[in-house]
Structure 1
Amino acid sequence: MSPVISIADLRKVYRVRGREVTALDGVDLHVHEGEVYGVVGTSGAGKSTLIRCVNMLERPTSGTITVDGLELTRLAGQGPRAGRELRAARRRIGMVFQHFNLLSSRTVQDNVELPLEIIGLDRTERRRKAAELLDLVGLADKARVYPAQLSGGQKQRVGIARALAGDPKVLLSDEATSALDPETTRSILELLRDLGRQLDLTVLLITHEMDVIKSVCDSAALMRDGRVVESGRLADLLATPGSELARELFPLGDLPGTGRAGTVLEITFQGDTAAQPFISQLARTYNVDLNILGAAVETIGGRQVGRMRVELPGSFEQNVVPIGFLREQGLQVDVAGHRTEAAA
């Protein structure tokens, strides 16, 4: 199945005070239908530039962007007809902004109606559509108030309703929760996830918070210095030895000293294996004393997933059988190292 969003070898170079600054450096990204896909990274990683290129608010220097089968980069700067096609394509891409971007002089309903005015929808149809969308985001009773009378979470709900006005196939979210408190953030993320399922949307969001990725995303990409350094479905990333995203999503902390020799294992579990008492079974079966050095467990997409770091006494060679037992239980087991007494 072809991706709804396909980005290939994307580059964006700015000229700043006579020198070139590369914001995107050969980005490849593929988002499939119905996915909630998160792009995470620190400030300056290129996330905002990437998402603004997807709807052509920023024109890429090179590379291709295809959304719902239409190559948007081909249309940019190709004359009036291509310009009309690009504008029509943009209407199928909703955008939710970090700072809401609501017009303070317009009521909530009028803000939602704005994109419908731009495309020339008649007043009766605009009113009907806006009322329907406000009900969808839980703000039917706020239609006649002004943005200054709303909380931050309510303003973002208005922004989401406005982004949905054109019946988009794709919804882009540019740090939509970074200005909100944790409780409001959770409610907005749940709304985005539920709307994605209800309206059959493909959602691409950017964030600097790993909690956002854990809460709502099916897949994720880690960006650094304008490049995607790792990407994939969360379930696959968790099963990938050495995954940086998995470590960031489920941090186990630094390896503490124990004062004894041992073999350190990092165990990843998800789905049915998360409910199995594999640690106690291992201890009873092989009469071994395990030292639990760290653990992180979360629920992602309705499935319990997590990582655990344990230490078995003795060398790797002495623990081959217990390690094999854990792998037979369907667990991913990576040997993180062997510590001698001198190094402990």
Structure 2
Amino acid sequence: MITTTGLTKVYRTGRSGRSRGHEVTALDGVDLHVREGEVFGVVGRSGAGKSSLIRCVNLLERPTAGTVTVDGTDLTALAGRGRRAGKELRRARSSIGMVFQHFNLLSSRTVKDNIELPLEILGHSGQERSRRALELLDLVGLADKAKVYPAQLSGGQKQRVGIARALAGNPKVLLSDEATSALDPETTRSILRLLRDINRQLGLTVLLITHEMEVVKTICDSAALMENGRITESGTVGELLAVPGSRLAHELFPVDGAGTGPGGTVVDVTFHGDAATRPVISQLSRTYNIDISILGAAMDTVGGRQIGRMRIELPGPFEENVVPLGFLREQGLQIQIVDEPAAAAVAVADPVTEEPAGSTDQPAALTKDGAK
């Protein structure tokens, strides 16, 4: 549904007279693929290029190079050379809704009138605008707020109005620019539930940017990690959690803990599906009569599935634990050796399925757009 290829955005600042000014590369050849009907999250720290990316997707920012294709239409081919969008680009943009971080509601208009504004610009009749606005108010749970003004609403209610306005033109794609970062945790959860419900009811493709890992865990089907204007990891959340060495997986489920002393083997174990509810570690201990130290653990529900990570320490060096580690793999678990000497040994023996801890390379199991 959304594809960017070689997307580059360079900002030029401070140009005056003979001075060429300073160039800042916000996007550096971004390749991204968002499948139809999924919720895709782009996560990264401030300055990573997330906002530039989402604004280039609907061409609010014109890319310096590369292409943006939405629902089969190459938007960059429609952009033209002028600063203002042409008729064809405006028409294509009508299939893309945008939810902003700071709501951007008009204080002089009622809630209903704010939602009607995009339809007014598109030339719909007053009756059509009114009917659609009331439908959307009901959808976002604000049917009783049609005649009030934004100043009378809470932050969460304002964002619900912003979502309703973004849906006014029946878009196929919804873009969310840090839509929950200005909200308290409980309101954030309610807005995320609303976005997920809308995604399921309307079949919308949702692309959101965020710096909050909780957002990714709560509603995203797929995710990408963005750093210094580049996508460094991308894939479905399940794929990322299953790939040893994934930095996104570590951020989603941070599990730390140092070994109890020299001579042990420290292992990160990722649990999925049925394995998350089975007593696998206790079975391992009983089967091989070994004492296992649990150094850290995290468990949560992602996409309706229980997923967890655990850091454990097995007694003895790696060579003595090959069979117990094989037992864990047979149970459908993903493992990553944490201590460096053992990790190096595993990497040499099996470079495809295991990666040394701390690797920053692209996970071997994923391509750049997340496909296996």
Task: State the TM-score, normalized to the length of structure 1.
Answer: 0.95
Match of 1:128 among 123, 126, 131: 131
**Structure-2 residue corresponding to 1:283:** 285
Give unmatched runs, 5+ long, in structure 1: none
**Structure-1 residue corresponding to 2:10:** 13
How many pairs does the alignment contain? Answer: 335
CA distance in 1, matches of 2:167, 2:302: 26
CA distance in 2, matches of 1:259, 1:236: 33
Q: Deviations over 1:36-67 (max 9, x none)?
A: 00000111000000000000100000000000
> 2:119 matched to 1:96?
no
Local SS of the residue matching 1:306:
strand
CA distance in 1, matches of 2:243, 2:46: 26
CA distance in 2, matches of 1:165, 1:153: 19
CA distance in 1, matches of 2:319, 2:48: 42
Local SS of the residue matching 1:22:
strand
User: How do residues 16-165 of structure 1 correspond to structure 2 at under 5 angstroms?
Assistant: 16-17=13-14, 18-77=21-80, 83-165=86-168
Q: Which amino acid aligns with 1:125?
A: E
Q: CA deviation at 1:259?
A: 3.1
CA distance in 2, matches of 1:333, 1:297: 16
Q: CA deviation at 1:334?
A: 1.7
Match of 1:170 among 168, 173, 188: 173
> 2:188 matched to 1:209?
no
CA distance in 2, matches of 1:28, 1:307: 29
Match of 1:328 among 330, 337, 348: 330
**Structure-1 residue corresponding to 2:260:** 258
**Structure-2 residue corresponding to 1:302:** 304
**Structure-1 residue corresponding to 2:185:** 182
Local SS of the residue matching 2:325:
helix
Q: CA deviation at 1:325?
A: 0.7
Q: Which amino acid aligns with 1:302?
A: G
Give unmatched runs, 5+ long, in structure 2: 15-20, 343-372
CA distance in 1, matches of 2:325, 2:152: 60
Local SS of the residue matching 2:338:
strand
Q: Deviations over 1:165-194 (max 9, x none)?
A: 000000000000000000000000010011
**Structure-1 residue corresponding to 2:201:** 198
**Structure-2 residue corresponding to 1:230:** 233
CA distance in 1, matches of 2:90, 2:276: 48
CA distance in 1, matches of 2:133, 2:340: 62
CA distance in 1, matches of 2:261, 2:123: 74
Task: State the TM-score, normalized to the length of structure 2.
Answer: 0.88
- Misfit runs of 4+, over 4 Å: none
RMSD over equivalenced CA pairs, Å: 1.5
